[in-house]
């Protein structure tokens, strides 16, 4: 699994894109709760969001 910063940088996606920020917030919340299942799901969704944003040329989703 990619580190979040590495994935965002590799795909040229800005961390300021609202969809990326929302997905990152979900990851952080799951991590804060120490809920492994939620955390794994949040990471998977974060990766998907970043890839969707990259596919759209970094535009807002």
Domain spans of the chain?
Answer: 4-55
pTM attached to this predicted model: 0.84
* Cβ contact 11:57 at 8 Å: no
**Segments of the chain scoring below 70 in pLDDT:** 1-2, 59-61
- Say what the pLDDT of residue 58 is: 72
User: If we measure between CA atoms, which residue out of 53, 55, 56 comes closest to residue 15?
Assistant: 53
- As a whole number of Å, the CA-based R_g of the chain is 11
- What's phi and psi for 56, nearest 5 deg? -95, 15
The CA distance from 43 to 21, in Å, is 13
């Amino acid at each position: 699994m990619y580190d979040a910063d590495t994935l965002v940088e590799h795909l040229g996606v800005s961390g300021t894109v609202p969809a990326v920020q929302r997905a990152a917030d979900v990851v952080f919340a799951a991590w804060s709760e120490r809920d492994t299942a939620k955390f794994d799901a949040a990471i998977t969704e974060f990766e998907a969001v970043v890839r969707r944003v990259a596919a759209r040329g970094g535009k807002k989703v």
